[in-house]
Chains A and B, each alone.
Chain A
């Protein structure tokens, strides 16, 4: 029997397997941020341990950083966390992209950007959206703080072998429909825990047509399906993206690495524990209406009626979601007004996302009463966008143009949504209170967020001129 892509990466990283089935897995790259690491470093210090591979460990600060003036951290506890990270990195010899670094940004944006993320690696971070890096054919997953400490001390993790699930994404996307819509539609169809206990391999005819950034958006949200990780086999697009990045292999090592990466794909006769085929051809832009990422609909759809849910528990959950969201069953998605628009986060704050949003915004104005923010995912994204003049398009339309960070994705910094107000957000979670207590989050693609900012309500971005010529989603992304 052949091996899956997952099997190949897993098998190549097993240091030791115990009789009880636990495997000690070697970790090639450990990404660190300020929120989930302080207790781990404190544990090391208490036990008199050191960081086993400082060179394989890379830290940044993103969650707590104010994005208007990153240096002006007024929240004293947030400041303490940031200062603690600086101290810890200095003491333990860990590389840190601090606020002065040209590389600072959201951890899942800078890993790929710096060539730290490459195919075949095992990558962990104390952050669930580590799944993002799976787009490169790396086995990447989020861990808790105790595990962060474990990896710092040993460069390994105890793991039970997960199951495998292949999702074949077939067909091509209509203009105006993006990879964000693919993953939102997939979770809306199968639910927020269909991936639990599994590593998902995304395959099928759609993947080769996607850029790396579009692929990352899908893998980023595989955790919202409950999956342990999302994976995509590396191909020419992957290899071209990685080439010449600062921390990627070079020269002879590069040639050797590429030869090995070519082997990283599921064998034709590989067997998966589960298999799903999902046709993307008919997809429309998606908008979530509820309080988990699976509660979503087509932009031309309506808010569902809790009475139609199959079980009493689900009926209650649905009714509670609608109450929190302040929505009536049957409301047309396009009748939902928004007061805030957030274009940012590790899901959709890369250069192609900003180009896409800018292509919708160009020459138009943000609707009255809407506050709209663009928060680039990293300093590098910001520099690139500014060199292309994208910031001018946003500023002229009435958007705020911010410094990199997680920003409104989770409201652990000053960027929060007031209770009862609505936000069209390109982030990945619409949980109760995620963007601020009582805040109402609707997840959308960057194109849909941009369109909502202009209209002051959700609209089908395909109705905007220019979308049909060349296609916003793909034309602008190249």
Chain B
């Protein structure tokens, strides 16, 4: 996995609450057996009109959002289906950071597994950022994972919390399975003392 230490990128604003993973990647695109190539279907039903033309009213189609790698979203982002395809689509499209006041749990975890950093900031700070972005006060953000702070290019800095384990894994681009296999002995030891009901008959 590609490490993420410090990332500067243009921002796209998505001011919608409860954006579910069905919207992020509609199910008709879940049938691929590969991990890549989902970016072109990101937010498909919102991004394109039924005619196949890009929807001019959709936030990601805005001029300023072109080339964005940071998504400023709203509360409960990524709710619904567990599909990791949602993160694959965001990442394949070019997003490396998603900022929101809250995320759904499974989506939040899936982000870290794919080198995408979900950043939780308070709702009022999010709203302030959204307002100043909309007023064209700034276009890009630098996300410094090491120091747990994000800084807009007009100089506003916002600290954020991150789970130390997840931070370590992401900073170093580590693979979870590799880490776990270091505990092979502990796992075997556990397996030897499982209770009767834990087994499948």
Contacts and interface: CB of A to CB of B under 8 A. Distances in A.
Interface in B18-75: 18, 20, 22-23, 26-28, 30-35, 45, 50, 74-75
Given A146-B113, A292-B18, A56 B200 contact: yes
B198 A35 contact: no
11 contacts: A21-B165, A47-B177, A81-B33, A84-B33, A118-B197, A127-B82, A128-B106, A196-B104, A257-B195, A317-B17, A434-B22
Contacts, number: 212
Given A145-B84, A193-B102, A196-B104, A411 B27 contact: yes
B84 A144 contact: yes
Size category, B interface: 35 or more
Interface in A377-399: none
A28 B165 contact: no
Given A20-B164, A226-B79, A36 B180 contact: no
A364 interface: no
Interface stretch (A147-155, A178-186, A277-285): A147-155
Given A39-B33, A160-B165, A196-B76, 10 more contacts: A26-B187, A53-B191, A81-B33, A121-B198, A143-B106, A146-B113, A158-B179, A429-B20, A429-B80, A433-B22
A443 to B, nearest CB: 13
Contacts of B79: 192-193, 226, 292
A433 B26 CA distance: 8
B82 A149 contact: no
Interface in B146-201: 163-165, 168, 176-177, 179-181, 183, 186-187, 190-191, 194-201
A64 interface: yes
B83 interface: yes
A16 B17 contact: no
B57 to A, nearest CB: 12
Interface stretch (A96-104, A242-250, A368-376, A463-471): A242-250
A149 B180 CA distance: 12
Interface in A399-436: 410-412, 419, 429, 431-434
Interface of B: 15-18, 20, 22-23, 26-28, 30-35, 45, 50, 74-76, 79-85, 87, 102, 104-106, 109-110, 113-114, 163-165, 168, 176-177, 179-181, 183, 186-187, 190-191, 194-201
Nearest to A255: B196
B200 A431 contact: no
Interface residues of A, number: 87
A15 interface: yes
Given A21-B164, A143-B106, A431-B23, A16 B186 contact: yes
Contacts of A260: 195-197
A256 B196 contact: yes
Contacts of B76: 192-193, 196, 226
Interface stretch (A72-80, A207-215, A268-276, A330-338): A72-80
A40 to B, nearest CB: 9
Interface in A35-77: 35-36, 38-39, 42, 47, 49, 52-53, 55-56, 58, 64, 75, 77
A26 B84 CA distance: 22
Interface in A295-352: 313-314, 316-317, 320
A405 B81 CA distance: 17
A241 interface: no
